[in-house]
Amino acid sequence: MDKRSELGKIGEDITSKKLEREGFCILHKNYRKRSGEIDIIAQKEEILIFVEVKMRRKPLFDLSYLIVPSKQKKIITVAKEYISRYDHSDKICRFDVALIEGTKDNHKMTYFENAFTEAEYY
């Protein structure tokens, strides 16, 4: 595993633990389809969240710039496929973003609920 993938996994683990502390159940990590990937899919009661995680040791710029509209569209497309495949049409869906700076043991997370919506693109 290269350093970037390793760092990404650490970020996903940090985010998953945060969500679990908040009562979410992690359904999938790194859910991949031809059209893209979703880092974390989690559920708490009727809420289903799709989370994009970005982690950098020393970011050179604001990490939110990495979640560009084309990336958001890919996440939405994969989420729609997921909802259909696993029959989650009765759930309230949300797209969140976790931005993490630092290391596994010394980090700062900024978490955005409802970071973007499908309505912005369709």
Predicted TM-score (pTM) of the model is 0.91
Q: Which domain holds residue 15?
A: 3-120
Show pLDDT as tens, one digit a residue, over the chain (122 residues). Answer: 667 778 889 999 999 999 999 999 999 999 999 999 999 999 999 999 999 999 988 765 565 667 888 999 999 999 999 999 999 999 999 999 999 988 889 999 999 999 999 876 55
**Residue 79 identity:** A
DSSP line for 25-44: EEEEEEEEETTEEEEEEEEE
The residues that bridge with 50 in the sheet, in sequence order, are 41, 95
Q: Please report the pLDDT score of residue 65 as a whole number.
A: 64
CATH number at residue 10: 3.40.1350.10
Number of Cβ within a 10 Å radius of residue 80: 15
**Confidence at residue 119, expressed as pLDDT on a 0 to 100 scale:** 74
Tally the domains of the chain.
1
pLDDT of residue 58: 75
- Which pLDDT belongs to residue 57? 83
**Predicted local confidence at residue 8, as pLDDT:** 87
DSSP 24: P
Q: Would you state the pLDDT for residue 60?
A: 59
